[in-house]
Amino acid sequence: MSISENLSRIYQQIEQISRQYQRENVRLLAVSKTKPVQAIEEAIKAGQRAFGENYVQEGVEKITYFAENKAIEWHFIGPLQSNKSRLVAENFDWIQTVDRLKIAERLNEQRPEHLPPLNVLIQINISDEVSKSGIQIEEMLPLAEKISQLPRLRLRGLMAIPKPESEPEQQKIALRKMKELLDRLQQQFEGIDTLSMGMSDDMASAIECGSTMVRIGTAIFGAREYNKQ
C-alpha cells in the first residue's frame, strides 16, 4: 500500500476508536525518522501536517528542505543532548522529551525571539525502565513549575513510551496512570492539552485511556530502508 493509503487507513482507525470511546481531537504524529523527503512529501500531499524526528541533524535538514511550507509542524521526539539543544530551539515547533531542568533552561535561552514559544512535553518514565528516558512521577510537578516560568517555552502536557505488554489490560495500567498525571497537571497549570502516547501496537488502548496524540511510523512509511553498499 502507498503512504497515502496507509494514512487514510490510520485516519479512519483513529476516528473509529475515538468515536467508540468518546474521545475528541486525537492527532496523528507521523514519525518520519530515517525516511527520505520524498516520503514526507507524499504524506503532506495526503493531508498529514505533523511530523516527528528522533535525530537532531536529520530533522533540521528536513525542516530546512520544507521551510517554505509554513503549515508543517515539526516535533522532536528523541533524547536530547545538551550540545544539540540550540538546533532544536531554533528549528522545531515542539519537543516531547524534556526530562530535566537543564535542558529546559537551555532551550528557553536559545529559542529565538522572532519565533513563538517552543511547545514542550515532559517525558515520564511511566514503566520505570532503566533503559528509557524520562522523569519519575514525583518529579513531574516540580519540573512543570520550573518550565512554566520560562517565557520562551510553553508547557503543553506529557509524553510517555510505556513498556510493551502482551496483555492489553496490563498495558492499560500505565496508560491510565499517564491520564491521571495529565489531569493532575491540568489542575495546576493553564494550557495543558496534550498527552502523547500510543504507537502502532497500542494505539487503540492509548486512545481509550486518554491519549490526544499517537505517534505512528512504520504503519505509515513502511519498515526502515537500509542503504545498500
Q: What is the DSSP letter of 54?
A: S
Q: What is the CATH number of the domain that holds 66?
A: 3.20.20.10
**Residue 215 belongs to what H/E stretch?**
strand 213-216
Instruction: Answer whether residue 229 shows pLDDT above 70.
Output: no
- How far is the C-alpha of 14 from the C-alpha of 11, rounded, in Å? 5
In a domain, 226, yes or no: no
Find the Cα–Cα–Cα–Cα dihedral 52, 54, 55, 60, rounded to 10°: 10
What is the domain count for the chain?
1
**In this structure, is residue 42 part of a structural domain?**
yes
- Is there a domain that residue 32 lies in? yes
Is the residue at 224 inside a domain?
Answer: no
Phi, psi for residue 156 in degrees, rounded to 5: -115, -20
Q: Cβ contacts of residue 196 below 8 Å, gap of 6+?
A: 29, 96, 121, 157, 158, 159, 160, 211, 212, 213, 214, 215
Task: Identify the pLDDT of residue 8.
Answer: 98
Please report which confidence band the pLDDT of residue 224 belongs to, taking 50, 70 and 90 as the band edges. low
Tell whether 102 is covered by a domain. Answer: yes
State the pLDDT confidence band at 86, using cuts at 50, 70 and 90: very high
**CA separation, residue 185 to residues 147, 180, 219 (Å):** 12, 9, 31
- 104 — alpha (psi -120 to 50), left (phi > 0) or beta? alpha
In a domain, 153, yes or no: yes
Structural domain for 65, as ranges: 3-216
- When comparing pLDDT for 64 and 222, which is higher? 64
Spatial separation of the C-alpha atoms in residues 63 and 217, rounded to whole Å:
18
| 95, three cell numbers | 519537543
Q: What DSSP line would sit under 10-49, residue for residue?
A: HHHHHHHHHHHTT---PEEEEE-TT--HHHHHHHHHTT--
> For 146-204, how does the pLDDT look when each residue is reduced to its tens digit (9 = 90+)?
999 999 999 999 999 999 888 889 999 999 999 999 999 999 999 999 999 999 999 99
HSE, CB side, 13 Å, CA atoms: give it for residue 4.
7
- Upper half-sphere CA count for residue 133 (Cβ side, 13 Å): 13
3-class DSSP state for residue 187? helix
Is 152 inside any structural domain?
yes
CA distance 118 to 93: 6
Q: Is residue 228 part of a domain?
A: no
